[in-house]
Amino acid sequence: MKYIPKKIPEGINVTSRHPLLNFAYLLGTVVAVSIFIFVVLGFVAEWLVIRVSPETETQIGDMLVQPALDKEITDDKRIQYIEELLNSLLIPGETTRLPLQVHLINNDVINAAITVGGHVLVHTALLETVKSENELALVLGHELGHFQAHDPLKSLGRSLVFLTVSSILGVGMSQSGGLPKIIPLTSELTNLNYSRIQERAADIYGFNRVVKHYGHGGHSLDFFERLAKGESKLQKVSQYFLTHPLSQDRINDLNAEAAKQGWKMEEEVTPLPQWLHCSNMKPCEQAE
């Protein structure tokens, strides 16, 4: 049989699609796979960090909280009051895996947070803003709910994944190895990176503990209602509070939970201790 060569058609090895389409497809695939890996690593990190020993969590928490303690107030009666109120929200038989440490921070930005290791950060501006113990109790109860659900640890795990990726890409690192920027950034992300599911669970937890402590939920939502309305007095609210889903929908959810559980919401307010916003709870003119 005689072989007769045939002419190769032009463009036989060239795709009919535009090269830019191929590039876009490849780029989209890479991005999708990267996001999937990032999400999976986040879940794995969460699973791992909540299993660290209390001793390890304490060491991590002590390191991460340091940048927030520059203006800490010590040896002040207000700290004891906050500690007692916080611990009173635990129901009988309930414990925390670590002792909670209250840090009173001299800062005019309204803020409260709980971090890895059980560090509770309360700004003096918050004490000046709340108008009843019920309001303060719900704020503290909400943060306690985060801690009991291991939310700070879970957020830390996701943050470490983010920082690992950032270090690989060389983003946010200092010339000395990145630690000066990593530690504050990790602390900040640990506070901010809560999902709406975690926020709602912390809301319900805190609200439940307030009702059990006072026998009702009356006036506990007042602070959050003022935040939702954006009163002029509350303009200096921390970014941490603003990232919480503080909306009328959230308040409505808590009112709906109260109705569902049959909790009373129209009872008398519990006043704050006199001069709570003053140094060492002395009359302000004397404290100065």
pLDDT at 195: 80
Looking at the predicted structure, is the pLDDT value of residue 177 above 50? Answer: no
In 10 A of CB 90, how many CB atoms? Answer: 17
14-52 pLDDT, tens digit each: 566 666 776 676 777 766 765 665 566 556 656 667 778
∠ Cα 249 232 185 (to 5°) = 70
∠ Cα 182 108 231 (to 5°) = 115
| Ranges of H-type helices in the chain | 19-49, 54-65, 77-88, 124-129, 133-148, 151-169, 179-192, 196-214, 222-229, 239-243, 248-261, 284-287
Which residues partner with 115 through β-bridges? 119
Looking at the predicted structure, is the pLDDT value of residue 181 above 80? Answer: no
Looking at the predicted structure, is the pLDDT value of residue 189 above 50? Answer: no
133-168 pLDDT, tens digit each: 999 999 999 999 999 999 998 888 776 665 565 555
78-114 pLDDT, tens digit each: 999 999 999 999 999 999 999 999 999 999 988 899 9
pTM as predicted:
0.77
Looking at the predicted structure, is the pLDDT value of residue 285 above 60? Answer: yes
190-226 pLDDT, tens digit each: 444 578 888 899 999 999 999 999 999 999 999 988 8
